[in-house]
Each structure stands twice: as C-alpha cells, then as structure tokens.
Amino acid sequence: MLNANDIRKQFPILDQTIYGKPLIYLDNAATTQKPLCVTDCIATSYNEINSNVHRGIHHLSQIATEQFEAARGKVATFINAQRSHEIIFTRGTTESINLVATSFGNTFINQGDEIVISTMEHHSNIVPWQMLCQRTGAKLRVVPLTHDLRFDFDAYKNRLNEKTRLVSVTHVSNVLGTINPIKEIIETAHSHGIPVLVDAAQSSPHIKTDVQAMDADFLAFSGHKMYGPTGIGVLYGKEKWLNAMQPYQFGGEMIQTVHFEKTTFNELPYKFEAGTPNYIGAIALGTAIDFIQAIGMENIAAHESALTRYTVERLKEIDNMRIFGTPDGAAISFLVGDIHPADMGTLLDRLGIAIRTGHHCAQPLIDYIGIPGTVRASFAMYNTKEEADVLIDGIKRVAKMFG
Ligand code: PLP
C-alpha cells in the first residue's frame, strides 16, 4: 500500500490554502499535479543539457538525444510495447487521435466506410472522426450505453460489419469513471479484422497499461494527466500500421531526402515527428514514469479504487444524491437535487475544494443522460480519506444552503 501523506511531500503545490482553507485538489482527471522530481528534471534539463536533438554532432546535442530516446524507451516499457519505435511523441491525447484520424484516415478511409466510437467519448475522440467522415464521406457509428450507463456490448457487436474500418473507444470514461472491457472490445473487433484505437487518457494514470496484453492497434495518452508536464503525450501504434500510414505533418526530421522534385520519408518513429520535438517534455515524462513505477501501478490503482469506493459510500449519505454510472475508475460524477453543478462547484471552491463541473468535454454523453452537466471529483495517488471527508462535509453544507 502507498502512503499518500508521504507522497504529498513531493507535491509542494498541495501545501497551500485557498480562501484561507487547505487546498483539496480533486480535479485530477483534468490534470494531475507534478512531483518535485519532474519539475527538477525540467529545470535541470534546460540548465544543463539543453540542445536540439537528432541534429548536432556536438556533446550537448548527443546527451539531449540520448535522454530523449531513453524517455521513449521508458514509455515503451511502461505500456509494454514490443518496440520503442512504436512510440510517437505528440502534444497529448488529442494530437495523438488527430494524427491517426489524419494519417490512418488519409490512407485507409473512403466513402461509405464506417468508424465506430461510443457514447461516452471525450470530444477529442469524437470530433476528429466527425471531420474525417465529412472529408471522406465515411459514416460515424456510435455505440449506445446500457441503462446503468455502461458500454452496450450487444449493440457494439451489431455496429460492426464489413464496412467498419476502425473502432476508437476510451478505456476509462472521464465523466463516469467507468472502466470499459477493453480487451473484449478489441478481441471482438479483431475477430472482424478491424483495428482498435484506445483512448488511454484516463486509464494510463490509474491502471496498468499493457498494449500487448490488450492487443491494441493504437493507444493514446497525455503526460500531464500522469504527473508529467503539459505539452507532451504519446501515440502508440503497431509497427505494421504506422509503416503503412502516410505522415501526419511535414518538415524537418521526418524526411530522409528532400529534392525539389521529390521527398522521401524517414523511418519510424521520426516519420511522425516533424519539427523540433518537445524533448524536454519527453525527458520529464520519463521521470514521471520512473516516479510512478517506484510507487507501483498496482499500489496506485488499489489506493485510488479504495478512495473512490469510500467516497461513493459516503456520498450516498447525502439526500437527493444522484451518482451517474459506476465509478470503478478514479472519477465520480454526481448531482445533488436540482442544485446546478456550477453553483456547487463555485461554493465548494470557496471551501478550498477544487472539483470540476459541466460537460467535461463529453457533451453527447451529458445530453444522453439528459442533465445540464455534473459535478466531478477525481482522485490521484496523493489524495486521502480525510480529503474525501472534507468534500462530503462541503457538499452537505452547500446542500443545506439550498434547503
Ligand atoms: N480523452 C479523455 C478520455 C480525456 O479525459 C481527455 C482529457 O480530459 C482527453 C482525451 C484529451 O486529453 P488532452 O487534452 O490532454 O489532449
């Protein structure tokens, strides 16, 4: 088991007061805070080794390149990728999905083809596919949810046919905290010869990610949601798909030869990394991964699930509480009576409690449930039961104010 109180010492931002109250940071699904080792790594990298990667023959450039490529290796190990050139550094989950929508789309999607997503997707796993469909005349098919807001597996099977070219689904819902049966979703798609993209933005910080065990064709996640810096993320892709796909962006580093008549492209992963990459971000993401590995993904998962279960039970003490779906991840969405989520969020903020309110970039899901939005509390490794208790007391206070 991990000791959250010990871990908190690594996160100085948590040690502050907001409106005179100790900060209770429960907006981790939006972004996590950064441990000292990550912020130190960023400062040290800029102060000691900064130099553009893959370009210079001089000492600093070689060290920066070595550390950048070592970070790629750490990511590969973290998600159990077979080859480190299957790891493409991007700006985050959103860019990773856009990369696939553009490059896989340009290569493999034609008029009449179909792409399958689910009702519980984040906008960044909806809009890129919608735009691809508009460009190509392909069709977006959406898997509904069951009455208890889980991925409807039977409906999913019915959506797959000989026109389906790709399935793109989230592993964990950022609104409901539901963990989808990703292995079965992939197995079913593969039985029809259809590749699958996994949006791992909400799973990579919380549960072990193993691209080989789940047999994902593509997997996307963001560094900033797993204790790393902003502006760095990952696309994993199976070598056979990445090799077959057109490049995403064009420019320096992604080329092999350039002549005015013709350009040839670099090998993986550089073919998909045009321009100067965020190498300091990647190196610091590597440090965040070291930090997570030292604590242990199993310990993190056990701590966060226990905290989620505890909070769900305590939330049920509150009159007119509605918890949406089954929060088996680390996020809980709820509403109390007809108190607007923005009112609840504003008043909790006055008590030093940072939670998220609104549609959480998943408007179709919020419309599907038929509510104005939710209040969402989401946990990380440094949150404690005492903080959950303060949240419950805060909600009770707000509920009392609204009578
Ligand atoms: N997918 C899911 C499930 C998310 O929760 C998020 C962010 O909240 C994203 C994608 C987009 O991530 P980013 O904004 O880091 O690109």
32 CA distance to ligand 1 middle (Å): 12
Distance 201 CA to ligand 1 centre (A): 5
Task: Examine residue 327 and state whether it is found in any structural domain, yes or no.
Answer: yes
- Over residues 299-351, the pLDDT tens digits come to 999 999 999 999 999 999 999 999 999 998 899 999 999 999 999 999 999 99
User: Within this chain, do residues 176 and 318 fall inside the same structural domain, yes or no?
Assistant: no
Is 361 marked active-site?
Answer: yes
Structural contact between residues 395 and 355, judged by C-beta atoms closer than 8 angstroms: no
Burial 139-155 (b: 16+ CB within 10 A, else e): eebbbebeeebbbbeeb
Q: Is the CB of 94 under 6 A from ligand 1?
A: yes
Q: How distant is the alpha carbon of residue 373 from its chain centre?
A: 20
Grade residue 403 by pLDDT with cuts at 50, 70 and 90.
confident
Residues 215 and 360 in one domain: no
Same-domain status, 306 and 288: no
Q: Using CA positions, which residue lies closest to atom 14 of ligand 1?
A: 94
> Domain for residue 350, yes or no?
yes
Domain co-membership, 196 together with 89? yes
Q: How many domains does the chain have?
A: 2
Residue 156 domain-assigned (yes or no): yes
Range of the domain at 134: 39-294
Nearest atom, ligand 1, residue 124 CA: 10
Domain for residue 195, yes or no? yes
Catalytic residue among 37, 41, 133, 361: 361
Residue 89 — φ and ψ, nearest 5°?
-85, 135
The overall pTM is greater than 0.85? yes
Indicate whether residue 378 lines ligand 1 (CB < 6 A).
Answer: no
Taken in order 49, 54, 58, 63, the sign of the CA dihedral is positive
Residue keyed to tokens 């871990």 = 7
Give the distance (Å) from ligand 1 centre to CA of residue 57. 37
pLDDT for residue 55 is more than 80:
no
